[in-house]
């Protein structure tokens, strides 16, 4: 039997915080799983160390599905981001181990490649529309086929989702939450302008995306979707929060702009109505926050029945371990749509050496056995955990505003 002999959690901060689970087996093969939950990292680290690792020791590392069910059903307390990130880390590490033992890159165990690479979208940001277009032109010249556009809003001093750096963007920007001022009216006027300018400068052969970060009401989102229609966006993301999945019915009634949601989802149940009623076009759930490869495959299969494609979250808080897992998943899954790609810093890449690569707008997980990612533990130990939070929004009159 391939026995799990030990497991540990590594918390490191090479530019930003990451939580990684490392599982070791009796034949010397180890596996890695990402367990990072932005702004709540130590809760998952404790969940793993105090409640999950003791249950893993001595189990057969090959029984991935059974261990998943044991951790999900056996905990009694199901779902939730902390639980599901912990389960995801175990699941990803076990898939890594199984593929290494087989001597194959993970995507081969998931059914093999369904495409030559995963189309990714890059992030063009700028304080003004001109600056955003400038950044988008650089991405286009680098071969990106899909670009997300986020621009500062005239009249607002700072806007979430807009970085100051051309390449690197880190949303978790302070030890305690920064407070941004938000105006829906100003925002709704500026986004169609951004898209008009982008089509003029970039042409029609590149996919353009936008993220509203859950800051609209359904009727406002419906308006934005309609206003963007002439510019044929690839998707409008997180137009509204999906705590109430029926919110999307109203948006859907009014616009043909494709809708994406789900980066905060942690279970298939978060998306049940959205998928069954075909209220969305892309599901953003990803490996680390939605129960690992095992559960994400279940979500994707369900989505495939209803013409919903994948569009996995891939911001900087998803470590290279998650990125690799997402690429193996994306390369193999039949209903792949697009993968988000937000570059990590050089420090992060050095702590997590990896086999995945970018070529002309597509990413490939590489052909190293397993996930193709490792963890340099000595280097990781040099970067101490630093509390960091995502910003919050208030309306101009001071009302708290994160839908």
Contact residues toward ligand CS2 (CB under 6 A) are: 38, 171, 211, 213, 263, 313, 315, 317, 340, 390
For this structure, is 107 an active site residue? no
Least Å from the CB of residue 286 to Mg ion: 11
Minimum Å distance from CB 1 to ligand CS2?
38
CA-atom Rg of the chain in angstroms = 20
Candidate segments 60-68, 71-79, 174-182, 257-265, binder of Mg ion by CB under 5 A: 257-265
340: contact with Mg ion by CB under 5 A:
no
Contact pick of 34, 211, 227, 317 for Mg ion (by CB under 5 A):
211
| 337, interface contact from ligand CS2, Mg ion, none, CB < 5-8 Å by kind | none
Nearer to ligand CS2, 64 or 212 (CB): 212
Stretch of residues binding Mg ion (CB under 5 A), selected from 106-114, 146-154, 249-257, 262-270: 262-270
Q: How is the beta sheet containing 18-25 ordered, strand by strand?
A: 4-12, 18-25, 30-34
Q: Look at the block and give the residue holding tokens 């089509």.
A: 199
Quick one: 30 or 214, whose CB is closer to ligand CS2? 214
Nearer to ligand CS2, 211 or 374 (CB): 211
Binding at 215: pick from ligand CS2, Mg ion, none (beta carbon under 5-8 Å per type): none
Set 160, 169, 231, 356: catalytic member: 160
Minimal distance in Å, beta carbon 330 to Mg ion?
A: 17
How many Å apart are CA 282 and CA 260, to the nearest integer? 5
- The least CB distance from residue 286 to ligand CS2, in Å, is 10
Q: Which partner from the list Mg ion, ligand CS2, none does 38 bind, CB cut-off 5 to 8 Å by kind?
A: ligand CS2
Instruction: Provide DSSP, 114-140.
Output: SSSSEEEEEEEEESSHHHHHHHHHHHH
What is the rounded distance in angstroms from the CA atom of residue 304 to the CA atom of residue 258?
Answer: 16
Among residues 327, 379, 325, the alpha carbon closest in space to that of 352 is found at 379
Token representation of residue 114: 């369904």
Residues 6 or more apart in contact with residue 40 via CB below 8 angstroms: 81, 82
Question: For this structure, is 254 an active site residue?
Answer: no
Q: What's the CA gap between 72 and 306, in Å, rounded?
A: 26
Q: Are strands 18-25 and 4-12 parallel, antiparallel or unpaired?
A: antiparallel
Torsion of Cα atoms, 331 then 336 then 341 then 347, to 10°: -40
Give min distance, CB of 399 to ligand CS2, in A.
21
Q: What is the DSSP secondary structure assignment for residue 397, as one 8-state letter? A: T
Which residue's beta carbon is nearest to the bound ligand CS2?
Answer: 315
The residue among 68 and 182 lying less far from Mg ion, judged by its C-beta, is 182
Compute the distance between CA of residue 169 and CA of residue 164 in angstroms, rounded to an integer: 7
Specify the residue, 96 or 211, whose C-beta has the smaller distance to Mg ion: 211
Neighbours of 285 (CB within 10 A): 28
* Catalytic site positions: 160, 213
Q: Which residues bind Mg ion (CB under 5 A)?
A: 211, 263
């Amino acid at each position: 039997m391939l026995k799990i002999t030990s497991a540990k959690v590594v918390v490191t901060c090479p530019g930003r915080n990451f939580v990684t689970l490392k599982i070791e087996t009796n034949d010397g093969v180890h596996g890695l799983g990402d367990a990072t939950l932005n702004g709540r990292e130590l809760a998952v680290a404790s969940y793993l160390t105090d409640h999950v690792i003791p249950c893993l020791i001595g189990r057969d590392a090959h029984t991935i599905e059974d261990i998943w069910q044991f951790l999900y059903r056996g905990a009694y307390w199901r779902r939730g981001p902390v639980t599901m990130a912990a389960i995801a880390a175990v699941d990803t590490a076990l898939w890594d181990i199984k593929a290494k033992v087989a001597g194959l890159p993970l995507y081969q165990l998931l059914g093999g490649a369904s495409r030559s690479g995963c189309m990714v979208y890059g992030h063009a940001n700028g304080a003004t529309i001109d600056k955003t277009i400038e950044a988008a032109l650089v991405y286009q010249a680098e071969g990106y086929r899909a670009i997300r556009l986020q621009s500062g809003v005239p009249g607002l001093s700072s806007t979430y989702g807009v970085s100051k750096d051309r390449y690197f963007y880190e949303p978790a920007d302070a030890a305690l939450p920064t407070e941004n001022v938000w105006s829906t009216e100003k925002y709704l006027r500026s986004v169609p302008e951004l898209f008009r300018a982008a089509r003029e400068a970039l042409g029609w052969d590149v996919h353009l995306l936008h993220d509203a970060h859950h800051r609209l009401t359904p009727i406002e989102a419906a308006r934005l979707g309609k206003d963007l229609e002439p510019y044929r966006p690839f998707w409008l993301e997180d137009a509204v929060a999906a705590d109430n999945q029926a919110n999307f019915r109203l948006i859907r009634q009014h616009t043909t702009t494709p809708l994406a949601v789900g980066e905060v989802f942690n279970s298939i149940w978060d998306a049940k109505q959205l998928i069954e009623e075909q209220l969305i076009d892309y599901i953003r759930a990803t490996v680390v926050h939605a129960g690992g490869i095992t559960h994400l495959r279940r979500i994707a299969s369900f989505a495939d029945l209803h013409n919903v494609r994948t569009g996995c979250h891939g911001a900087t808080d998803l470590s290279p371990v998650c990125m690799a897992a997402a690429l193996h998943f994306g390369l193999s899954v039949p209903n792949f749509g697009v993968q988000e790609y937000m570059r990590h810093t050089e420090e992060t890449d050095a702590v997590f050496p990896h086999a995945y690569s970018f070529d002309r707008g597509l990413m490939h997980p590489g052909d190293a056995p397993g996930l193709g990612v490792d963890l340099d533990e000595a280097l990781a130990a040099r970067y101490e955990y630093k509390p960091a939070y995502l910003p919050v929004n208030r309306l101009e009159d001071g009302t708290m505003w994160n839908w």
